């Protein structure tokens, strides 16, 4: 009770016989902890972390193919043939999974887009080959590494289809830097075709697999990861071991760390929060009209 015998009331614009900072024992009754916090399950987090692991493996696959071409162990014709076969197989699977989707592009439109891309890429291959002639090789490799890191950091893992413009542009810029150090223009054309297939088209197919056939998504991500490790092992066993440890840490240890940290999450909500006006203003606006 106050000096005048009146009880304390939680009101703002009323003079009371209490100090401004006074609260009674009922103040903490409205305390709420961790309101709206999402609870994660371990294997669900592992499944989502697989998308990060396979994207890292995609970078390893592209670097492996580039290294083979740079060493003369892989011809442009072989890489182009493999890329075309993989593209046709992936396109058929993508169309089969998207059967019945509204707004699906026609095969004629897809063929036209692919033809335009192939023609422009082939025509600009000599330009891309000489694009970094005045830049030292060490600088080119440093730029490629930085752009691939930017690609991995900025990739939209929650919604990978279509790939984000920043991540895709970073990956293509890195591919141009690497391709410019290959022997000829045909090598550049094969390298850029492979980069588009891995960095632009594969995420779209993987996203559709995750939506339409969720049970196949972990197997597809695991297959890409195995391909990245196997390709890197043929060049550098130490690098393959490092990649394997990184993938295991991303898919198994990081989800455990997230769940452990979530147990210590402690967000409090109560009467000290900012007031939120939930009144429907449309009724007032209609009254003014």
Handedness of CA 171, 173, 177, 180 (dihedral sign): positive
Mean pLDDT for the stretch of residues 226-246: 92
pLDDT digits (tens, 9 = 90+) for 74-124: 999 999 999 999 999 998 888 888 765 655 677 788 888 888 888 988 998
Q: Please report whether residue 221 resides in a domain.
A: yes
pLDDT digits (tens, 9 = 90+) for 248-272: 999 999 999 988 888 777 777 766 6
In contact, 43 and 251? CB cutoff 8 Å: no
- Whole domain around residue 82: which residue ranges? 51-98+106-252
Let me know how long the chain is: 289
Q: Please report whether residue 234 resides in a domain.
A: yes
Residue 287 — very low, low, confident or very high, per pLDDT cuts 50/70/90?
A: low
pLDDT digits (tens, 9 = 90+) for 42-80: 888 898 888 899 999 999 999 999 999 999 899 999 999
Residue 198 — very low, low, confident or very high, per pLDDT cuts 50/70/90?
A: very high
- Nearest CA among 159, 240, 250, 168 for reference residue 201: 168
Q: Which two tokens stand for residue 93?
A: 């699977």
Mean pLDDT for the stretch of residues 172-195: 92
How far apart are the C-alpha atoms of 147 and 152, rounded to whole Å? 9
Query: What is the DSSP code (8-state) at residue 135?
Result: S
Which range among 32-41, 129-138, 263-272 shows the weakest confidence by mean pLDDT?
A: 263-272
Instruction: Report how many helices (DSSP H) and strands (DSSP E) the chain contains, helices first.
Output: 11, 2
Q: Please report whether residue 113 resides in a domain.
A: yes
Q: Which two tokens stand for residue 110?
A: 């897809």
Q: Please report whether residue 33 resides in a domain.
A: no
- The gap between the terminal CA atoms of the chain, to the nearest Å, is 47
Q: Please report whether residue 8 resides in a domain.
A: no
In contact, 211 and 21? CB cutoff 8 Å: no
Q: What is the pLDDT of residue 276?
A: 64
pLDDT of 2 > 60? The answer is: no
Q: Which has more confidence, 21 or 288?
A: 21
- Please tell me the total count of domains within the chain: 1
In contact, 104 and 212? CB cutoff 8 Å: no
pLDDT digits (tens, 9 = 90+) for 222-233: 999 999 999 999
Which range among 14-23, 72-81, 137-146, 195-204 shows the weakest confidence by mean pLDDT?
A: 14-23
* Beta-carbon count within 10 A of 188 CB: 29
How far apart are the C-alpha atoms of 247 and 51, rounded to whole Å? 11
Q: Please report whether residue 211 resides in a domain.
A: yes
Q: Which has more confidence, 102 or 147?
A: 147
Q: Please report whether residue 29 resides in a domain.
A: no
How far apart are the C-alpha atoms of 97 and 39, rounded to whole Å? 31
Q: Among residues of the chain, what percentage have pLDDT more than 90? A: 39
Query: For residue 39, what are the CA distances in angstroms to 45, 57, 102?
Result: 11, 29, 34
- The mean predicted confidence, pLDDT, of the chain is 84
How far apart are the C-alpha atoms of 133 and 210, rounded to whole Å? 42
pLDDT of 5 > 70? The answer is: no
Q: Please report whether residue 190 resides in a domain.
A: yes
- State the pTM of this model: 0.78
């Amino acid at each position: 009770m106050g000096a005048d015998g009146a009880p304390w009331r939680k009101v703002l614009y009323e003079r009371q016989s209490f100090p401004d900072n006074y609260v009674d024992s009922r103040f903490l009754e409205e305390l709420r902890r961790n309101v709206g916090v999402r609870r994660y399950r371990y294997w669900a987090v592992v499944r989502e972390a697989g998308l990060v692991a396979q994207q890292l493996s995609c970078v390893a696959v592209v670097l492996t193919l580039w290294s083979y071409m740079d060493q003369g162990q892989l011809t442009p014709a072989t890489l182009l043939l493999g890329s075309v076969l993989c593209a046709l197989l992936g396109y058929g699977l993508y169309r089969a999974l998207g059967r019945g989707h509204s707004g699906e592009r026609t095969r004629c439109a897809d063929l036209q887009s692919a033809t335009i891309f192939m023609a422009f890429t082939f025509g600009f291959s000599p330009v891309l080959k000489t694009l970094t002639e005045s830049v030292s090789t060490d600088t080119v490799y440093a730029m490629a590494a930085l752009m691939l890191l930017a690609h991995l950091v900025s990739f939209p893992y929650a919604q990978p289809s279509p790939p984000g413009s920043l991540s895709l542009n970073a990956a293509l810029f890195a591919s141009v830097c690497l391709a410019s150090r290959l022997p000829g223009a045909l090598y550049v054309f094969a390298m850029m075709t492979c980069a588009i297939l891995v960095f632009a088209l594969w995420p779209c197919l993987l996203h559709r697999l995750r939506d339409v056939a969720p049970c196949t998504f972990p197997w597809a991500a695991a297959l890409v990861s195995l391909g990245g490790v196997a390709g890197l092992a043929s060049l550098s066993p130490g690098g393959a071991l490092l990649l394997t440890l990184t993938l295991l840490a991303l898919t198994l240890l990081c989800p455990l760390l997230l769940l452990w940290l979530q147990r210590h999450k402690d967000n409090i909500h109560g009467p000290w929060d900012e007031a939120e006006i939930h009144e429907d203003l449309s009724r007032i606006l209609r009254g003014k009209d």
